[in-house]
Amino acid sequence: MSRSERLLDLLQLLRRHRQPVSGRALAEELGVSLRTLYRDIASLQAMGAEIEGEAGLGYVLKPGFHLPPLMFRPDELQALALGARWVADRADADLSEAALSALSRIAAVLPPDLKADLDASALLLGPAKGFVSDSVNTALLRQAIRGGRKLRLSYRDASDMASERVIWPFALAFFEGVRLLLGWCELRESFRNFRTDRIVSAELLTERSPKRPPVLLKEWRVAEGIKAGREIGA
């Protein structure tokens, strides 16, 4: 186990205890010497963790401390890096830039051993299938979802039939080669999926959706029999 992983485990262990716990008990649970435990406590305190106590009295972590990016495990870090690179390669320009920026900011604060793991990652992405070009900026669609606001769409279906829709958007689904906007359609009075490359135009309305996006997403999953995190069909 690397030192970074050990510090993370120590923090997680302290989080589980509301009352002070002795250094010896912490050391035994972590499988380290008492001397190493004291050294790790001092390191976490230097990083900003509000750990109160001292040898012989016990230690307690004050609520509200958030783990900095440098405390990711190596496999968690690689998963985040792979996900960020997938987004950078396959999402719209704004989201792509945000993914690369986030990855760069994480890399900037990593300790040398974890930064080396990130730079030497052997997890590669295959070639992306080209996305059909969108007529609207999907950043606008994401803005509507974040703000819980209605959208007015001009849309053409697979048969090239045009229609005007007002929807309550709640999610964007990313597939190889296509993106889907999920929303409650006022015209059809039901949940509908809209391919973003078939949206001719989109207008962000001032009116808010009657239900918040997380509520709509939950109801959609129930209606479709889909568990959280499972992919949907196109």
For 76-99, what is each residue's pLDDT tens digit? 888 888 899 888 888 878 888 888
Which of 11-25, 176-190, 216-230 is predicted least confidently?
A: 216-230
Which backbone phi and psi does 125 adopt, to 5 degrees?
-100, 140
220-228 mean pLDDT: 77
Residue 30, pLDDT > 60, answer yes
Per-domain residue ranges of the chain? 3-66, 70-119, 138-224
For residue 232, which of 148, 163, 170 has the smallest C-alpha distance? 170
pLDDT at 234 over 50: no
Closest CA to 234 of 162, 182, 167, 165: 182
Q: What is the mean pLDDT of the chain?
A: 84
* Alpha-carbon distances, residue 202 vs 6, 170, 194, 198, 206 (angstroms): 50, 15, 12, 11, 13
CA distances from 193 to 9, 79, 107, 169, 178 (A): 42, 29, 37, 10, 12
pLDDT in tens, 48-80: 788 888 777 889 988 766 555 556 777 888 888
Residue whose C-alpha is closest to residue 204's, from 172, 166, 156, 163: 166
User: pLDDT digit string (tens) for 161-175?
Assistant: 999 999 999 999 988
Whole-number pLDDT of residue 56: 75
Q: What is the CATH number of domain 138-224?
A: 2.30.30
Given this model, what pLDDT does residue 132 score?
65
The pLDDT of residue 62:
82
Highest mean pLDDT among 2-6, 10-14, 54-58, 62-66: 10-14
pLDDT for 41 beyond 70: yes
Question: Pick from 202, 217, 84, 195: which is nearest to 143 by CA?
Answer: 202
First-to-last alpha carbon distance for the chain, in angstroms, is: 43
215: its two tokens: 């509520």
Locus of tokens 């989080």: 15
The reported pLDDT for the residue numbered 231 is 47
Q: Assess whether pLDDT exceeds 70 at residue 215.
A: yes
- Higher-confidence residue: 103 or 206? 206
According to CATH, what is the number of the domain 3-66? 1.10.10.10
Q: Are 41 and 57 in contact (CB under 8 A)?
A: no
Residue 233 has pLDDT above 50, yes or no: no
Better-predicted residue by pLDDT, 4 or 203: 203
199-208 and 149-156 beta bridge pairing: antiparallel
Q: Are 77 and 114 in contact (CB under 8 A)?
A: yes
Percent pLDDT > 90 in the chain is 36
List pLDDT tens digits, range 113-157.
777 777 777 777 777 666 667 888 888 999 999 999 999 999 999
Q: Can you tell me the mean pLDDT for 198-218?
A: 95
Read off the pTM: 0.62
Q: What is the pLDDT of residue 229?
A: 46
